[in-house]
Amino acid sequence: MTEHRGSQPSEAKGTVIAFSAPGCEPLYAHEREAMAAVARTIASLKGFAFQQGLVNSSGNGEGLYFVPDDSLLATDAARLGINGPQDLFGGVVPWRFAMTKAITHELVDGLAKRPKEWSTGFGRTVSAAVLPGYTVFSRPDALRAAERLLRLGLARLKPPLSSRGQDQHVVRTVADVERLLEQYRSPDLDECGLVLEADLRDIVTLSVGRTEIDEIMIAYYGTQRTTTDNAGQSVYGGSDLIVMRGGWEALEDLRLPRALALATVQARTYDAAMAEYPGFFASRRNYDIGQGVDSSGIWRSGVLEASWRIGGSSTAELAAIKIMKQDPDIQLVRASAVKEFGNTSRLPVNADVHFQGEDPDEGPITRYTVVTHATREPPKKAAD
């Protein structure tokens, strides 16, 4: 039985429901708490009650707002009464492969295997906004793609179904790819594909996105942090965001350094290209852009993947939206979503702590959000 937990404020106009999307990879305990923090903030903004877990019946969605932990398929969204971006925090896609990084690259050639719903136009449209690479749906195509891509230098093999950067491998030869292919089940390869992409060193990962809740729309850019987990591995440690009131046009008004300006253009190009997939809509659109040097010494920039769901920076996005709703004159907010491993004793005075303690899977960890600046005037020039 689905568990129902929630709070019902007096005179609530509806309910915000946080839930696990069908087929979604299970979240860590600290991720569930961060997700609940986002959902509770949205409930507060909307004057809604909060509920953990789906209702046990489908309906027309009236008075309901959904916060799933992953993108939803159109069929699942329709069953819940989700008809547009006003009904959820996240996004809806027509087919499962379209919610992964598989759509980012073109096929190796016109004869390559592909899902029947595959859009060849999407890959062509975003080719200048992504790194050199290919998506493949068969072993023979993977080997042909590897032979072609490796002429440029080292490549990275990325399974679309894996998250948090897991199961990715740097490959030097076609033989490396052939050996790694033995790890992937044929059904997964046939349905969701595999990505081969130019590998970058000294990489900086930027996040560019747009989020809307009711009448408030924000656009943001920022840099992802790295931290060391309890096993000594370098992992994602949160994001530092510059959040502007307004849509994509708010970023156009900023005189950004050249690399940042390029990242925003690439994110918008990728975002606009989603028109190739019918039925797509999203209230939260995040694009991770990798910038670094490939093994040939060429500096490159490109969208690594898109996220039409709650993400690691969402608590910072919501903190900015909350401030903007409280003060309609606020135009810019600097906010950080932070993840620290180990026993953290010192936190910023104004930190909003979402999780602090022992995660059963990842050990001691602290998740918090901190707002460092809010202004009624947009900046004349962003910092490098």
Tens of each residue's pLDDT in the chain, 384 residues = 234 455 555 577 899 999 999 877 788 999 999 999 999 999 999 999 999 998 754 556 679 999 999 999 999 999 999 999 999 999 999 999 999 999 999 999 999 999 999 999 999 999 999 999 999 999 999 999 999 999 999 999 999 877 666 689 999 999 999 999 998 877 888 888 999 999 999 999 999 999 999 999 999 999 999 999 999 999 999 999 999 999 999 998 888 999 999 999 999 999 999 999 999 999 999 999 999 999 999 999 999 999 999 999 999 999 999 999 999 999 999 999 999 999 977 899 999 999 999 999 999 999 999 999 999 986 665 444
Dihedral angle computed from the Cα positions of residues 294, 295, 297 and 299, in that order, rounded to the nearest 10 degrees: 0
CB environment 126-139: b (16+ within 10 A), e (fewer): bbebbbbbbbbbbb
Q: Are 41 and 33 in contact (CB under 8 A)?
A: no
- Residue 226: how many other CB atoms lie within 10 Å: 12
Residue with tokens 């081969």: 196
Output the pLDDT for position 2.
34
Whole-angstrom Cα Rg for the chain: 21
DSSP 247: S
pLDDT at 1: 29
> Rounded to the nearest 5°, which phi and psi values hold at 125?
-65, -40
Q: Are the C-beta atoms of 172 and 149 separated by less than 8 Å?
A: no
Take residue 14 and report the two structure tokens written for it: 């509806």
CA distances from 298 to 171, 295, 384 (A): 18, 7, 21
Q: Where is 141: in which H helix or E strand?
A: helix 139-149
Which residues lie closer than 8 Å to 195 by C-beta, 6 or more apart? Answer: 101, 102, 104, 105, 133, 134, 135, 136, 157, 158, 159, 160
307-326 burial code (b ≥16 CB/10 A, e <16): bbbbbbbbbbbbbbbbebbe
288 vs 280: CA distance, rounded Å: 19
User: What is the number of other CB atoms lying within 10 angstroms of the CB of residue 55?
Assistant: 14
C-alpha distance from residue 344 to each of 214, 322, 335, 358 (Å): 36, 26, 20, 11
Torsion of CA 6, 12, 13, 19, to 10 degrees: -10
Other C-beta atoms lying within 10 Å of the C-beta of residue 71: 26
At residue 243, the pLDDT reads: 98
Nearest to 35 by CA among 297, 24, 101, 279: 24
Count of alpha carbons within 13 angstroms of residue 22, beta-carbon side:
10
pLDDT score recorded for residue 3: 40
Give CA–CA dist 205/222, Å, rounded.
9
SS3 33: helix
Question: Which H or E element spans position 69?
Answer: none
pLDDT at 8: 58
